[in-house]
Structure 1
Amino acid sequence: MRGRGSVPLPRRGAGPAPPRAPGRAPRPAARRRPGGRWAQERLPRPPGLRATTPPPQRQASAATSVPREDGERGAQRPAKRPWEGHTTLVSTGPLVPSFLAVGSEAQGRRKSWSVRTYTAEDFGPLTLLAEEIHRLDAGAPLLDAARWRYVCSDPHADPESYFRVAEARDGDLVGFGYRFDPPRPDGGRFRAVQVVVHPKWRRKGVGTELFHATAGDPPEDPDWYLTSVADDRCAAAWPFARSLGFKKDRVMLLMERELPGTRLPESDSDARIERFLGPTAWADWARLYNRCFEGRRGFAPVDADTLEDNKPDGFRPEHVRFARVKGERVGYLFLRETSHGGFIEEIAVLPEVAGAGIGTALLISALEYLRDRGHLKVQLTVEESNTAALKMYARLGFDEVCRRIHVIKTPRRRRR
């Protein structure tokens, strides 16, 4: 008993509960186990989830009987409350994306494919695979027989050492990867890697293993970097490159023009267009290439012997055209002929004569040649920031087909 006006003393266990840190799960309910010991049941919770206890519910009966081994009903003991010993998981953050879950699940299963080194016997099946992939996915690079020979004949490529193919258990090819290691003017190198996987075999880890097997170990050069291309028509290309640590470097536009039934404009330039002839043709090509592309990322100087020794299969003198002004060759154009049409590989003009219509004259000459050869269309690529070239291509009837994102990955620098 206490007198009027006296202050009650706090009883043991009474009073408000101490504040709980925000986001912290409450203590799970404790119950008395047989044996007289108090224990708490804790369930492991995955990352991003917190544990909560459901609100108490009204009990239908306060006691239940425990059956004994002999079948008779034993003594009465308090019934287990429904919220004791249970845990509910509530999301408190972003869950794992579905494509990552699929990849981890595929890694846990037994693989039905393997990655091996490219051999000369893979040439035929690989070209058929590349054409089928391009038919199913327009964003995949089109590598027909002529284009694949051109890739394998690159002076900075070593197919039997660095090219990789993914092969299923039944022996069919399901993907491939190739790379180039061209030198830089400062003596260093960069590595261009491209991975192509059949749409039915994507999101199974094939592309990731192909990439690491093709790219190999990075060299000791601190300025070394990786490059690749992601086509915006392939929805999986850019997310795949980003998952590997690549970042956007520049955007190239793929442009196309129909050849039959269209009229080509006439050039108003004073430049004279001539074919790839003469004893100094290879030397002039190397000189113009070095002067026009010097200073750009990925540039590697070449000489006449290198160009002549590594000319692509199916090369013809008509595939290279020079522009001559006042007795000097000031620009050139290089094209390829494939089973799907013509492709303008390079078009370059010296900076001191740029804007005089020389590039237009070179391109019109190439379009006339491809049309006379019976090709239905011609394609080329141009950098998105090259506004002068974009205006020229628009005047000549070229339309944008897609955007190709050139991505780059630089090595992490170690802290000193």
Structure 2
Amino acid sequence: MINGQGTGPRVARLDELGPADVPAVLALAGAAGVADGADPLSEHVTLRLRHAGAGPASHLVVRDPAGPLVGYGFLEGPDEAGEVDAELVVHPGWRRQGVGRALVSAALSGVPESGALLVWAHSDHPSAAALALDLGLHRSRVLWQLRRSLRDPLPEVGLPAGVAIRAFRPGVDDEAWLAVNRRAFASHPEQGRWNSAELRLRLGEPWFDPAGFLLAVEESSGRLLGFHWTKVHDRTEAATPIGEVYVLGVDPDSHGLGLGRALTLAGLHHLRDAGLSRVMLYVDESNAGAMALYARLGFANWLRHVRYRWSDTPTAA
């Protein structure tokens, strides 16, 4: 057990979660998401919680004296650079009681010398900003969620000559898509690392629809030039569904053809034709080109996620 400061919450670090722990973590995340208006754990983390053995990780848990889970942390790393990635969530009813501070302190205790801790604050909650300031973490990355109404007019797709769009074929297009994805996101800290296991996890999700996974191919050769993978959230009677520009990429060799705009519009038309009235996407604030493209296509800022970084060598951050 790891003690929080003073008589504060106690944090247990686990290599594996028990059978009852995963539903408890997901329920905790759900309660926090309702309170904050944004999911506190990324899809990456949620998939690893739901699929045992999907990747190595450690877990921080805080329980109240009666046993229920009130705080959780997911840790990956350290990697070759000594960086530890973390995502943390505290139950809304247990905030301002030192649980978040105890989780961050426990995560920091696992950072190697000359390493770093990277922590996402989904929805940029003011309490997270205050805690980061207190503990010496600095903003290192901002990820925007943008939204657009699909009831507003959409421009035509306007594909370049010699280019066609078709649906992804699971088991046939996997390797070609992974190769283009790696090239398109070579400098991206998450997307560029996807491998066949990452792809298969998502192809097996209930929301996956190959008809919404659009590939731009060269008509003469069939070569994959780019893609727009769409996603639909919350297609239930109790929720209003929203579409997502899930992943959009263009092979660097095909830049300059206008494929980014054409593929974005192709996906938006697909989502509107499927009955969706709104769409969202995520984009790094530092990606000025993508931010400008989406603004021209009618997207507006909705909320932001901030990644904080702690390092004992801050000048290298």
TM over 0.5: yes
Partner of residue 213, structure 2:
320
Distance in 2 of aligned mates of 1:126 and 1:135: 14
- 1:230-285 deviations in Å (ceiling 9; x for gaps): 346511112222333322223222101233x3332211222322211276411112
**Residues in 2 aligned to 1:114 and 1:385: alpha-carbon distance in whole angstroms:** 35
Matched, 1:125 2:24: yes
The yes-or-no answer on 1:293 pairing with 2:185 is: yes
Q: Of 394, 398, 407, which aligns to 2:295?
A: 394
Aligned residue among 341, 346, 353 for 2:242: 341
Alpha carbons of structure 1 residues 290 and 124: separation in structure 2 relative to 1, 3 Å: same
Q: Distance between the aligned counterparts of 1:126 and 1:283, measured in 2?
A: 34
Q: How far 1:195 sits from its partner (Å)?
A: 0.9
Checking the alignment, whether the CA contact within 8 Å between 1:163 and 1:214 is kept in structure 2 is no
Distance 1:383 1:301, change over 3 A: closer
Q: 1:68-147 maps to which residues of 2 (within 5 A)?
A: 107-109=5-7, 111=9, 115=12, 117=14, 118-138=17-37, 141=40
Residues 55-99 of structure 1: per-residue CA shift (max 9 Å, x gap): xxxxxxxxxxxxxxxxxxxxxxxxxxxxxxxxxxxxxxxxxxxxx
Q: 1:176 aligns with which of 72, 93, 108?
A: 72
CA shift digits 1:317-350 (9 cap, x unpaired): 2353221135321112234332153333321112
Q: How many residues align?
A: 298
What amino acid is aligned across from residue 256 of structure 1 in structure 2?
R
Q: CA–CA distance in 2 between the matches of 1:311 and 1:325?
A: 24
Residue 18 (structure 1) aligns with: none
Structure 1: which amino acid aligns with 2:72? F
Q: In structure 2, what is the Cα distance between the partners aligned to 1:371 and 1:151?
A: 32
The structure with the greater share of residues assigned to helix is 2
- Shift in Å, 1:162: 0.9
1:317 counterpart letter in structure 2: P
Give the secondary-structure state (helix, strand or coil) at the position aligned to 1:378.
strand
Q: Percent identity?
A: 27
In the alignment, is residue 356 of structure 1 matched against residue 257 of structure 2?
A: yes
Q: Over residues 185-228 of structure 1, what are the superposed CA-to-partner deviations in whole Å (9 max), with x where a residue is unaligned?
A: xx5563320111123322322112223445652346x5x43222
CA distance, structure 1, for counterparts of residue 187 and residue 47 of structure 2: 29
Using the TM superposition, give the Cα deviation of residue 376 of structure 1 relative to its aligned residue in structure 2, in angstroms: 4.2
Matched, 1:276 2:175: no
Correspondences of 1:15-54 after superposition (within 5 Å): none
Unaligned runs of 5+ in 1: 1-105
Q: Is the 1:360–1:392 contact (alpha carbons within 8 Å) kept by the matching residues of 2?
A: yes
Q: Which residue of 1 aligns with 2:227?
A: 332
**2:60 alignment partner in structure 1:** 164
Provide structure 2 residue ranges, at least 5 long, that are not aligned to the other structure: 235-240
- Aligned residue for 1:192? 85
Contact 2:157 2:263 in 1 (8 A): no
**Displacement, 1:168?**
1.4
Deviations 1:151-194 (A, max 9, x none): 64498744xx51233221233322221133496xxx55633201
Residues of 2 paired with 1:182 and 1:320: CA distance? 33
For residues 12 and 155 of structure 2, the distance between their equivalents in structure 1, rounded to whole angstroms, comes to: 51
Report how far residue 109 of structure 1 moved.
Answer: 4.7
Displacement of 1:288 in angstroms is 0.9
**Kept after mapping to 1: 8 A contact 2:177/2:224:** no
Code of the residue aligned with 2:308 in structure 1: it is V
Structure 2 distance, partners of 1:378, 1:357, is 21
Q: Partner letter of residue 166 of structure 1?
A: V
Residue 107 (structure 1) shift: 4.8
Q: Compute the TM-score of the two structures, normalised by the length of structure 2.
A: 0.77
